[in-house]
C-alpha cells in the first residue's frame, strides 16, 4: 500500500506498507526517513525539522551533486536533499515488494547553483531488504563531474557496542586530521570519527549486539564512516546531546578522488542494498 501523507505543517511524504516492511519517504530530497522490518534500520533525530530547505536529520540523506564540500560553489552535501522530487513511478507486483521511483530534473533554482541540465532518479525497492539505485543522467551538451553519497544514519544499540567490518586494510583520509592512512582491523568507536575510505569492496558489515547489517554496493569505490561523538554532537543542528550514542553513519559514496565525470547523455548509478541478518 502506498499512501500520500502530510505532517501537521504540510510536509509531504509517502507511506509504504507491504507484507514484510514499512517505510516513509519525504518528497523533499527523496529522503527515506524510516524503514522497518523486524526493527528500525534507520536512526531519525527526535528533533529533526520536517521543514522545506532544511535536510531531515537522520534516515538516508542524498548527497548530490557534491559530497561534503567537494564543490565549494555548492551547499555542504549539495542541493538534492533539500530539493522537491516528484513521484515518477510506483509498482506493487508482489505482496512483499514495493518499488518507487522519485525524480529530480534541473530547474531555475538548480541552474543558479549548478549550471547543468540533468535527470536524477532514485529507484527504491522496499522488501525484506532495502535497495536503492541513484541514477544520474547528463542531459546537458557539456560534461559534468559529480561526487555523491547515500549518507545513511544506522540505528544502533549503543556506539560502544558496534564495530564495522569490511574496510580492513583500506586506505582512508582522516577528515579530522586530513592525514591519509590505512585501516587496521575492524572499526570501533571511542571518539569523534570521520573517515573517507577509498578502493572499497562491495560488502561492508555493521556488527551490533544482536544484529548484523549487511551493506552491498555497486558503483561506489568509496565509503564514509562518521560519528560526531560528544562535543560535535552538542554543536550540531537537530541533534540531542546523547544522539551520538544512537547512530553511526556508513555512507556508500563516490567521494573525493572517486568523483564521476559524465559526458552528455551518459548515466552513472550508485547502488546499495541493506539486509538485516
Q: Which residues are catalytic?
A: 151, 251
> Does residue 43 interact with ligand TA6 by CB under 6 A?
no
Nearer to ligand TA6, 126 or 224 (CB): 224
CB of 56 to ligand TA6, least distance (A): 10
CB of 55 to ligand TA6, least distance (A): 6
> Does residue 65 interact with ligand TA6 by CB under 6 A?
no
CB of 124 to ligand TA6, least distance (A): 20
Closest CA to 172 of 191, 159, 156, 187: 187
Binding marks (x or -) toward ligand TA6, 140..169, rule CB under 6 A? Answer: -----------x------------------
> Does residue 258 interact with ligand TA6 by CB under 6 A?
no
Interacting residue with ligand TA6 among 68, 78, 166, 219 (CB under 6 A)? 68
> Does residue 76 interact with ligand TA6 by CB under 6 A?
yes
Neighbours of 212 (CB within 10 A): 12
Binding marks (x or -) toward ligand TA6, 173..212, rule CB under 6 A? Answer: --x------------------x------------------
Interacting residue with ligand TA6 among 226, 244, 247, 274 (CB under 6 A)? 226
Q: Which of the residues 79 through 138 are near ligand TA6 (CB under 6 A)?
A: none
Cβ-closest position to ligand TA6: 226
CB of 179 to ligand TA6, least distance (A): 15
CB of 151 to ligand TA6, least distance (A): 6
> Does residue 77 interact with ligand TA6 by CB under 6 A?
yes
Closest CA to 201 of 170, 234, 228, 239: 170
Number of residues that bind ligand TA6 (CB under 6 A): 12
For the chain, give the secondary structure using H, E and C: CEEEEECCCCCEEEEEECCCCEEEEECECCEEEEEECCCECECECCCCCCCCCCCCCECECEEECCCCCCCCCCCCCECHHHCECEEEEEEEEECCEEEEEEEEECCHHHHHHCCCCEEEEEEEEECCEEEEEEEEEECCCCCEEECEEECCEEECCCHHHCEEECCCCCEEEECCCCEEEECCCCECCCCCEEEEEECCCCEEEEECCCCEEEEEEECCCEEEEEECHHHHHHHCCCCCCCHHHCEEEEEEEECHHHCEEECCCCEEEEEEEEEEC
Provide the binding-site residues for ligand TA6, judged by CB under 6 A. Answer: 55, 68, 76-77, 151, 175, 194, 224, 226, 236, 249, 251
Amino acid at each position: 500500500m502506498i499512501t500520500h501523507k502530510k505532517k501537521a505543517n504540510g510536509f509531504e511524504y509517502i507511506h509504504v506498507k507491504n507484507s514484510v516492511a514499512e517505510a516513509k519517504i519525504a518528497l523533499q530530497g527523496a529522503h527515506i526517513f524510516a524503514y522497518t522490518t523486524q526493527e528500525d534500520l534507520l536512526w531519525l533525530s527526535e528533533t529533526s525539522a520536517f521543514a522545506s530547505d532544511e535536510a531531515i536529520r537522520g534516515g538516508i540523506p542524498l548527497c548530490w551533486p557534491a559530497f561534503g564540500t567537494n564543490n565549494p560553489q555548492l551547499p555542504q552535501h549539495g542541493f538534492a536533499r533539500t530539493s522537491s522530487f516528484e513521484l515518477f513511478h510506483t509498482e506493487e507486483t508482489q505482496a512483499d515488494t514495493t518499488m518507487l521511483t522519485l525524480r529530480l530534473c534541473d530547474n531555475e533554482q538548480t541552474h543558479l547553483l549548478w549550471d547543468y541540465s540533468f535527470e536524477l532518479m532514485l529507484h527504491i525497492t522496499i522488501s525484506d531488504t532495502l535497495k536503492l539505485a541513484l541514477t544520474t543522467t547528463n542531459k546537458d551538451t557539456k560534461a559534468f563531474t559529480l561526487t555523491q553519497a547515500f549518507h545513511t544514519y544506522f540505528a544502533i544499540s549503543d556506539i560502544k557496542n558496534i564495530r564495522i567490518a569490511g574496510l580492513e586494510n583500506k586506505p582512508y583520509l582522516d577528515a579530522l586530521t586530513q592525514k591519509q592512512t590505512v585501516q587496521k582491523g575492524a572499526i570501533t568507536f571511542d571518539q569523534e570519527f570521520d573517515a573517507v575510505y577509498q578502493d572499497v569492496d562491495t560488502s561492508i558489515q555493521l556488527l551490533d549486539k544482536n544484529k548484523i547489517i549487511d551493506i552491498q554496493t555497486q558503483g561506489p569505490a568509496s565509503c564514509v564512516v562518521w560519528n560526531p561523538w560528544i562535543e560535535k554532537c552538542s554543536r550540531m543542528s537537530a541533534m540531542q546531546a546523547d544522539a551520538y550514542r544512537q547512530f553511526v553513519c556508513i555512507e556508500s559514496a563516490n567521494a573525493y578522488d572517486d568523483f564521476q565525470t559524465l559526458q552528455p547523455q551518459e548515466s552513472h548509478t550508485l547502488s546499495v542494498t541493506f539486509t538485516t541478518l
